[in-house]
Structure 1
Amino acid sequence: MTQPTPPGQPGYPYGQGGADPYGQGGAQQPYGQPGYGYPQQPQQPQPYGQQPQQPYAPFPQQQGFQPPYTVPAPPAPSRDNVGLGIVVAVVTALVAAGIYGGVIGATEHEIGWAAVGVGFVVGLATGKVGGRNPALAVISAALSLGAVYLGQLVGAAMIAADKLNIGFSEIFFDHFDLLQKGWKEDADAMTFVFFAIAAIAAFGGAKRAGQ
């Protein structure tokens, strides 16, 4: 009677002496390891400089619609009302001349900053109402010269009326020629400097206000 061969002895089918279907030497290998009946697949080397393939990444989503260009804003409508600008310039010049004459009559001196204020106010009002027409700047400069001249006559009439105890209207309207003659005699270099400053201020004010 034949005795069975113990495990691990020659003659046992799963030992070293028998057929070993699981690998070499009859030692059982764990599942999935080399030698368990499934040969290991060698890893394919990557070509030099080539990165392994990455999983697909979706494109980032844009936040709202981005236009390819910026739409320019429509230009502002230009103001160009020469007639109304001239009317405003004349009225402003008359009012400024009265104020300037009152300052001269009260102080009995020609004040430079007051002449600058006359020109700037005339130019500012003309440009604000009339617009950016170049003719308005020239007109406002000319009217500012007239406003300064008229203001100086008003101031001289106020001073004469106070000294002679005569009414202002009598001297200014009845003896206007005497006022002009007295102004020419008293005019000096500073008088014409005030004229120039007033004209420059009016021209610049009209240009700036008309933009």
Structure 2
Amino acid sequence: MSQHIQPPAPDSATPAVPYPAEPARTGNIGLGIAAAVVAALAAAAAYGGIMNAIDRQIGYAAVGVGILVGFAAGKLGGKNPVLPVAGAILSIGAVYLGQLFYLALALADFGNVGLGDVLSHMGVSGLNDYWQKGAEAMDYVFLIIGGFVAFGTAKKTSD
């Protein structure tokens, strides 16, 4: 015959103490922003290099910039509500810097000079002036795409 073993009755003298709830994890905003800055700089270089290789912009590259920057901010920074906004701003900056880097590479190729020569003679302000003169509506659309994707990616990947 099998016996059914009963658990001991709770002692009414000692009340049951619930385990404390785990504190909400908010992440590390500094780490998230630092990771997003590094990702933005790497993405800007890649974006400019891709544009130089194919001699045009493509939306998927701007999406890739946004994903990379947003993922870095959200995954390493956590659920802080500042991080999606910071990721979006940094992604817009990365797409913009990528466009400037593309211009610098194109001017170096056109002038048959080194990239360092273009950067030292024109600087960022000279490249910015050149960019503003030739910017089209799609240039701004790519900036917005990168920011929008980074915002959404940061929100989705935060812990």
Three-state SS of the structure 2 residue aligned to 1:132 is: coil
Give the structure 1 partner of residue 58 of structure 2: 111
CA distance in 2, matches of 1:145, 1:203: 10
Query: Contact (CA 8 Å) 1:104, 1:156: kept in 2 or not?
Result: no
CA distance in 2, matches of 1:89, 1:162: 30
Distance 1:182 1:63, change over 3 A: farther
Q: Report deviation, 1:174.
A: 2.4
Uncovered stretches (5+) of structure 2, i.e. residues with no partner: 8-17
Query: Contact (CA 8 Å) 1:82, 1:133: kept in 2 or not?
Result: yes
Give the structure 1 partner of residue 90 of structure 2: 143
Alpha-carbon deviations, 1:85-132, whole Å to 9, x = none? 111111110000000010011111111110111011100111110100
Which of 20, 30, 47 in structure 2 is aligned with 1:83? Answer: 30
Query: Contact (CA 8 Å) 1:157, 1:171: kept in 2 or not?
Result: yes
Alpha-carbon deviations, 1:15-53, whole Å to 9, x = none? xxxxxxxxxxxxxxxxxxxxxxxxxxxxxxxxxxxxxxx
TM-score (normalised: structure 1)? 0.64
CA distance in 1, matches of 2:6, 2:67: 51
Give the structure 2 partner of residue 187 of structure 1: 135
More helix by share: 2
Which of 126, 134, 137 in structure 2 is aligned with 1:178? Answer: 126
The correspondence of residues 2-151 of structure 1 with structure 2, limited to 5 A, is: 75=22, 78-151=25-98
Three-state SS of the structure 1 residue aligned to 2:151 is: helix
Identical aligned residues as a percent = 45
CA distance in 2, matches of 1:162, 1:82: 40
Alpha-carbon deviations, 1:48-104, whole Å to 9, x = none? xxxxxxxxxxxxx97987xxxxx99x5575142011111111111000000001001
User: Residue type of the partner of 2:136?
Assistant: D
CA RMSD of aligned residues (A): 2.1
CA distance in 2, matches of 1:147, 1:159: 18
Distance 1:148 1:75, change over 3 A: same
Q: How many residues align?
A: 146
Give the structure 1 partner of residue 12 of structure 2: none
Does residue 209 (structure 1) correspond to residue 157 (structure 2)? The answer is yes
User: Residue type of the partner of 2:80?
Assistant: N
User: Residue type of the partner of 1:126?
Assistant: A
CA distance in 2, matches of 1:131, 1:90: 16
Q: Report deviation, 1:173.
A: 3.1
Structure with more contact order per residue of length (Cα contacts < 8 Å, sep ≥ 6): 2
Which of 101, 124, 130 in structure 2 is aligned with 1:154? Answer: 101
Uncovered stretches (5+) of structure 1, i.e. residues with no partner: 1-60, 66-70
TM-score (normalised: structure 2)? 0.83
Three-state SS of the structure 1 residue aligned to 2:113 is: coil
Larger Rg: 1
